Chains A and B, each alone.
Chain A
Amino acid sequence: MMEWMPQGLWFEVCLKVFFAFMMVGAVMTMAGYSVLAERKVSAWMQGRVGPNRTVLPFVEYIPILGPILQKLGMFQPLADGLKFLFKEEIVPGHVNKFYYYLAPLIALVPALTTMTVLPFGQLYWDDGTVSTLALADLEVGILFVFAVSSLGVYGIALAGWSSNSKYSFLGGIRSSAQMISYELAMGLSLLPVFLWVCAPGSSESGLSLSAIANSQSGGAWLFLVQPLSALIFLIALFAETNRLPFDMPESETDLVGGFHTEYGSFKFGIFFVAEYAHIVIGSAIFTVLFLGGWHFLPFIEDPWPANWIGSLLGVGWFLAKTIFLIFFFIWVRWTLPRFRYDQVMNLGWSKLLPLALVNLIVYLLIVTVIDQNAAANL
């Protein structure tokens, strides 16, 4: 066994697996608590209280902390998860069993795989070198995210088809059409960003996420430089994560539950978690691309020291931005009404796509003019 794998490699693989488990744990926890945040924020916006009863038996007797945790509903995600686990498994008789079971898995795996290339901070070494904190800091990071998240369509399409029910099928078809349509605008909106960062003369040339984040250190955040790109990306992100106002796949008023109408108990839970994992990772990617990642405010150098405290503060700052964006997702959901399906398609194809193309051409011209001026001044 040891023959084909050197000792050091075993250690490295084990370390990677450990980090991967940590990352999955962090993202899943955030996804679980996003559900709680969704319920709490919606309650707050509608003048209700929200979940405030669930509590572990021994926690409620802790003097001051216990009641606060109970009022915040901190144990609600745990109760929800257990409820999904212990509910009766019902498989309708008219489904295609194999694909019916496969679909939730195919929906969850891409949602969790995109986190491998997500950079979330910096590590300052003693000798002054800086390395990015990420499971794999690929040179083609953003393309990896697009490629893997485009596989998520299969989960929804297969769920809709294998359920063998009209509501599910319509939900699945709608959702896949929507995701394919908005992928174009999403990809095109990012081209100007990478053109800008990798313009001639800059040290960067590639599609790496960490390079984008580092290019915003001490300078303008990219959403200040490219507001239109940021807006198109954000709208497309809402559509890709199937959030209201774009939640065509499960528009309750006309499709019951959309593609997961026939799903119950834990299989429904997996779809649910996959949706929130998409939101968490989408928010994190928007933070890296447009909100400066782990760097402090625009035009201000990072105030924290270049050691492990700085690393921790950077990661915390990154998390704070991501959590704000998750809140933004929830905020928009409970503010805007749902679009009609033809409005969604119209917005995607005849508004966002041309806008993204114009945006790309304008920034191409700007980058060319800057480059020409620089060449003339040499």
Chain B
Amino acid sequence: MNAVDLLFWLFAVLSVGGGLFMVFSRHPVSAAMFMIVSLVGVAALFVLLESFFLAILQVLVYAGAVMVLFLFIIMLLDVGPEAGKRKLSHFKTGIFGILATFLLVGILLILGNSYDSLALDQSIWPELSESKDGGASQGLPFSTKVSSFGYGLMTKYMLPIQVSGFMLLAAMVGVIILSKKTPAREDVK
């Protein structure tokens, strides 16, 4: 066990534990804070993979922007620990619980079946250090540099980025239409 493995376990525990505490904490503000811990833990795991760009985007977008808005809404609505208890019948909770359990078992089964083949078959996931040409033979040089992310986005993944950009634009227009107050007829006069 070397230092990197130790760090991996530290941040893995941090991200998974943060996620668990997020689900189980009663107070919405605590839940939001634990989610931030979990997201920062995942960002640290990206750093261990030497993918600084992804790690920083994780912190910038999720921990820095999305969660701030979550916290904002929780604080503005003044949601207390009791808010989640209303309106939840035992029947619905039970059904969703069973569905979630099935999903979890399914994921674990698939992971368990494929783990050996994925871990041992180096031809599927070659080690980062072993791909000497850096994936250049596949037409898309692999590196963790920012420029290679940009290159990939602007060439191979041009259509997906345009589609997602269009979807974000549609969402933005929708928000503006929904939140803009149209003056009542009397006010116009």
Contact = CB atoms under 8 A, between A and B. Distances in A.
Interface string B69-98: 101100110000000000000000000000
Given A5-B3, A139-B52, A150 B72 contact: no
A147 B64 contact: yes
Interface in A187-227: 205-207
Interface residues of A, number: 30
A173 interface: yes
Contact of B75 (A140, A146, A150, A161): A161
Contact of B146 (A153, A160, A177, A206): A206
Given A139-B52, A157-B71, A206-B145, A150 B3 contact: no
A173 B76 contact: yes
A151 interface: yes
B72 A139 contact: no
B12 interface: no
Contacts of B5: 4
Given A9-B3, A157-B71, A151 B63 contact: yes
Judged by DSSP, the binding face of A is helix
A169 B76 CA distance: 9
Given A147-B59, A206-B147, 16 more contacts: A139-B52, A140-B52, A143-B60, A146-B60, A146-B64, A147-B63, A150-B63, A150-B65, A150-B68, A153-B64, A154-B68, A158-B71, A173-B72, A176-B68, A177-B72, A206-B145
Contacts of B146: 139-140, 205-207
Contacts of A327: none
A350 to B, nearest CB: 13
Judged by DSSP, the binding face of B is helix
Interface string A156-190: 01101100000001001100110010010000000
Given A138-B52, A140-B52, A157-B72, A147 B60 contact: yes
Nearest to B76: A173
A157 B68 contact: yes
B71 to A, nearest CB: 6
B53 interface: yes
26 contacts: A4-B2, A4-B5, A9-B3, A139-B52, A139-B146, A140-B53, A140-B146, A143-B56, A143-B60, A147-B64, A150-B59, A151-B59, A151-B64, A153-B68, A157-B72, A158-B29, A161-B29, A172-B75, A173-B75, A177-B72, A180-B69, A183-B65, A205-B147, A206-B145, A206-B146, A206-B147
Contacts of A84: none
Contacts of B2: 4-5
B1 interface: yes
Contacts of A161: 29, 75
B36 interface: yes
B120 interface: no
B6 interface: yes
Interface of A: 4-5, 9, 99, 138-140, 143-144, 146-148, 150-151, 153-154, 157-158, 160-161, 169, 172-173, 176-177, 180, 183, 205-207
Nearest first, the 4 closest Cβ-Cβ pairs linking A and B are: A150-B64, A147-B60, A147-B59, A205-B147
A180 B68 contact: yes
Interface string B36-71: 100000000000000011001101100111001101
A4 B1 contact: yes
Interface residues of B, number: 25
A139 B55 CA distance: 13
A147 B52 contact: no
A154 B52 CA distance: 23
Nearest to B52: A140
A64 B9 CA distance: 60
Interface in B1-52: 1-3, 5-6, 29, 36, 52
A148 to B, nearest CB: 7
A175 to B, nearest CB: 11
Contacts of B68: 150, 153-154, 157, 176, 180
B65 A180 contact: yes
A176 B72 contact: yes
A160 B68 CA distance: 14
Contacts of A158: 29, 71
A140 B76 CA distance: 34
Given A139-B145, A157-B75, A206-B146, A99 B29 contact: yes
Nearest to A9: B3
Contacts of A144: 52, 56
Contacts of B65: 150, 180, 183
B65 to A, nearest CB: 7
Contacts of B56: 140, 143-144, 147
Nearest to B71: A157
Nearest to B1: A4
A11 B106 CA distance: 47
Nearest to B36: A154
Contacts of A99: 29
